[in-house]
Structure 1
């Protein structure tokens, strides 16, 4: 009986193998191709995905919010910040890699990626000093003429690595003791926010070497808490205190000038305990000349990074509130595209992205599970 069972089993296996082989033989030959994306428009969005559940697998998710379509993915180093070239051709990331994934020799690089193929173009090795922290907008920035990229270092000494992207080489490391991050100022300067309540501006030459530095005072750190995650609109950076007081800093002939302050909240709002919230909590539309702030009611101390479903819009000439937007879900970061038909985009901690048409004043879609943790959104 055992011999017969073995014979039958062997026959069944042989017949199955024959059928599988026949099926394989009938399959058409597979082919593959590499798709090149169109030149980016101003709605194409790049989501910085820090992926809190597996932070070593950080990435950039490239999406079309009009069609609610994923266009591609760019792998990056650990918690890598990103900046886009003004000419729409290149995506830059500041990447940290370890030889044994979570340990071993560390290598820091600036990586340039083609915006149409999403393939790496080149990389420049940097000193192993890149800030290893939750990604912010001004950790990696680019000069107005696309010549220099500035990378923020924290060891905990702070400095800025200057990379000449035209010649694809690191040209300088500029120390900024007591200061952090870098806010581009024209073609050949950047500013950093300092612990003494000033913005320190560093001017460089065409070789990336320091020419001069100066300071502009714009808040009192003994009296208030200033959020460093400002937004640039035209020639003005807009900062906010944790209490919702907007502090403009204008760039006038290459110099920084603190502008007149105004508050997001009137007396009624303050009595109702409204406050600012979120990670990237400000956005701006150049076309509409509006500032957008992520806000929440029932505000409590140290709750100003909490997500919210409420965005208020302000006219940048008068400082008056002109609109209230309620999103279907709580978002942590907001972004507004810079075109004449702007979209408001919001990333949730759960991994979704809300798409809101500001021109039509209507919610368009929720792109579900588009990222692990969509911490920032950028567009050209």
Structure 2
């Protein structure tokens, strides 16, 4: 008797266990589960989950900017650590927003049409990146779409550290001037409407471009004089020279001296801090200089004949800007010896140009090598620092408005409407 019967329990006899026949349902189920495991398929209960949504194809589009006001500015970032990635930013100073950017490859320059119809970038590339055929180009951009409206091959251009006076536009926007040093000092003249390079003007011993009127520009010469070029209706140049007004090896003037292009007015600033008021034209006139330090009630700084004297001196890259509506000069100043002309400013001095008087001195939170100013009644002052921030001040009282953090790598100059 079985143990179960001995305990008085009743059990239903188990059904006999038999092996499934080849090809039977058990084998089919086992095979399906094995394949599912090998393929990483979901377990049967996952089949009840909702199906993943079908992703739609992404469609690209182009955003068109609204017309800008006086506080929409262009800012060049030379990106010195990898110059081939240079760019020009379109920035709204009121919101602190970066609205867009365009390529500005390898020591490029940027200038704007006075009427705001275009802005121009002169740049250089090579077909194979760092070698191959060289291409020097002048590109015009639509300021609202940032799309090229002209892509012109130039005969050459000056491949040097970007300087604001290397590229300029005539007062009526008719001509674009591109400075070159290949093989000699010259200026290429481009007709903006025809999109054609119409003339190359040799300016031996002279450099840079300070435009005046509808068809003229001035260059600074190595002997301390100015070369004035006037173009006739056919684009043929006539060249005149001024007398020397500064001694280059004693107290040279800054290449980034500020100007008001519409009136052909430049204030050439010397390394020691002298200001030469120049009215440009076929017969340019240069007034006697006055001292920035004297305007602030200080002793004028020495020139190269006393190079170790410490004084307040101008310095930086785009070291000065002029607000035309009230003729105020904004200039970066630092304490140093004579050959510290590239040192950043620790203070920003605002001076009244007609009276040669100091308006205010603004101590900067961080040293800056660049200052720009907008031209409207509610103007803004733009500064930068080593971190690549753009620091915006109120033009009326010099108080901080906002900081645009980490805008660029090597911010070097600005282009504001109406300059």
TM-score (norm. length: structure 2): 0.83
Aligned mates of 1:164, 1:136 — CA distance in 2: 22
Counterparts of 1:120-135 in structure 2 under 5 Å? 120-127=148-155, 129-135=156-162
Residues 11 and 175 of structure 1, relative CA distance in 2, 3 Å threshold: same
Contact map agreement 1:89 1:116 (CA 8 A) in 2: no
Counterparts of 1:232-243 in structure 2 under 5 Å? 232-233=259-260, 234-243=263-272
User: Which residue number in structure 2 is paired with residue 207 of structure 1?
Assistant: 234
User: Which residue number in structure 2 is paired with residue 312 of structure 1?
Assistant: 349
Are residues 1:45 and 2:73 paired? yes
Residues 19 and 330 of structure 1, relative CA distance in 2, 3 Å threshold: farther
- Bigger drift between 154-163 and 166-175 goes to 154-163
User: Which residue number in structure 2 is paired with residue 246 of structure 1?
Assistant: 275
Root mean square deviation of aligned Cα: 2.5
Q: Deviations over 1:239-288 (max 9, x none)?
A: 11111111111236x53101121111134575862111110111111123
* Secondary structure, aligned partner of 1:230: coil
Contact map agreement 1:39 1:88 (CA 8 A) in 2: no
Instruction: Please point out which of 207, 215, 229 is paired with 1:188.
Output: 215
- Bigger drift between 344-353 and 260-269 goes to 260-269
- Bigger drift between 221-230 and 284-293 goes to 221-230
* Secondary structure, aligned partner of 1:217: coil
Aligned mates of 1:22, 1:275 — CA distance in 2: 72
C-alpha displacement at 1:319, in angstroms? 0.8
* Secondary structure, aligned partner of 2:107: coil
Q: Deviations over 1:294-313 (max 9, x none)?
A: 0012x024222111231001
Residues 7 and 83 of structure 1, relative CA distance in 2, 3 Å threshold: same
User: Which residue number in structure 2 is paired with residue 352 of structure 1?
Assistant: 389
Aligned mates of 2:89, 2:50 — CA distance in 1: 40
Contact map agreement 1:343 1:355 (CA 8 A) in 2: yes
- Bigger drift between 354-363 and 196-205 goes to 354-363
* Secondary structure, aligned partner of 2:52: helix
Q: Deviations over 1:304-328 (max 9, x none)?
A: 2111231001111111111011232
Instruction: Please point out which of 245, 254, 260 is paired with 2:288.
Output: 260
Aligned mates of 1:71, 1:352 — CA distance in 2: 16
Contact map agreement 1:45 1:379 (CA 8 A) in 2: yes
* Secondary structure, aligned partner of 1:173: strand
User: Which residue number in structure 2 is paired with residue 277 of structure 1?
Assistant: 315
Aligned mates of 1:21, 1:303 — CA distance in 2: 71
Aligned mates of 1:108, 1:100 — CA distance in 2: 14
* Secondary structure, aligned partner of 2:250: coil
* Secondary structure, aligned partner of 1:54: helix
User: Which residue number in structure 2 is paired with residue 369 of structure 1?
Assistant: 406
Unaligned segments of structure 2, at least 5 residues = 1-32, 302-308
Are residues 1:326 and 2:363 paired? yes
C-alpha displacement at 1:123, in angstroms? 1.5
* Secondary structure, aligned partner of 1:55: helix
Which has more strand, going by share of residues? 1
Contact map agreement 1:216 1:257 (CA 8 A) in 2: no
Contact map agreement 1:349 1:374 (CA 8 A) in 2: no
C-alpha displacement at 1:212, in angstroms? 3.9
User: Which residue number in structure 2 is paired with residue 229 of structure 1?
Assistant: 256
Contact map agreement 1:191 1:200 (CA 8 A) in 2: yes
User: Which residue number in structure 1 is paired with residue 304 of structure 2?
Assistant: none
User: Which residue number in structure 1 is paired with residue 9 of structure 2?
Assistant: none
User: Which residue number in structure 1 is paired with residue 5 of structure 2?
Assistant: none
Aligned mates of 2:405, 2:334 — CA distance in 1: 23
Instruction: Please point out which of 335, 338, 362 is paired with 2:372.
Output: 335
TM-score (norm. length: structure 1): 0.91
User: Which residue number in structure 1 is paired with residue 137 of structure 2?
Assistant: 109
Equivalenced residue count is 372
Aligned mates of 1:137, 1:44 — CA distance in 2: 18
Are residues 1:23 and 2:52 paired? yes
Counterparts of 1:150-169 in structure 2 under 5 Å? 150-155=177-182, 157-169=184-196
User: Which residue number in structure 1 is paired with residue 121 of structure 2?
Assistant: 93
* Secondary structure, aligned partner of 1:45: strand
C-alpha displacement at 1:21, in angstroms? 11
